[in-house]
Amino acid sequence: ILNVEQSPQSLHVQEGDSTNFTCSFPSSNFYALHWYRWETAKSPEALFVMTLNGDEKKKGRISATLNTKEGYSYLYIKGSQPEDSATYLCAFTNSGYALNFGKGTSLLVTP
């Protein structure tokens, strides 16, 4: 079992605030780092897959960075909206297949 830690566990922000979460993972034998957005009763939605140290990816107001040497990734949300409320999961793989998940960061954005 590969230890993946996410922080904070939960976060409550006001609409319009920008926020960020952290995912830390083993820095050895890195293959890929995934971010998912998971709303209750729905399928986890793939946000990003990052494979190279220094990768930065962006999707609308959401962006992510990757540091494989020190074993962390940040997810940023700019100008949070209530529809951003969800659990954000990161998952590390050293094989390209089996994903090792963190417990997630639960985000609540209130108007």
The strand ranges marked E within the chain are 5-7, 10-14, 19-24, 32-38, 45-50, 56-59, 62-67, 72-77, 86-93, 100-101, 105-110
Give the footprint of another protein on residues 30-69 (CB under 8 A).
Answer: 31-32, 34, 36, 41-44, 46, 49, 51
Q: Which amino acid is at 70?
A: E
Q: Does residue 23 interact with another protein by CB under 8 A?
A: no
Residue (91 or 107) nearer to another protein, CB: 91
> Binding residues for another protein, how many (CB under 8 A)?
25
Q: Does residue 102 interact with another protein by CB under 8 A?
A: yes
* Separation between Cα atoms, residue 6 and residue 41, nearest integer Å: 22
* 83: three-class secondary structure by DSSP: helix
Q: Does residue 28 interact with another protein by CB under 8 A?
A: no
Q: Which spans of this chain sit near another protein (rule: CB under 8 A)?
A: 1, 4, 31-32, 34, 36, 41-44, 46, 49, 51, 89, 91, 93, 96-104
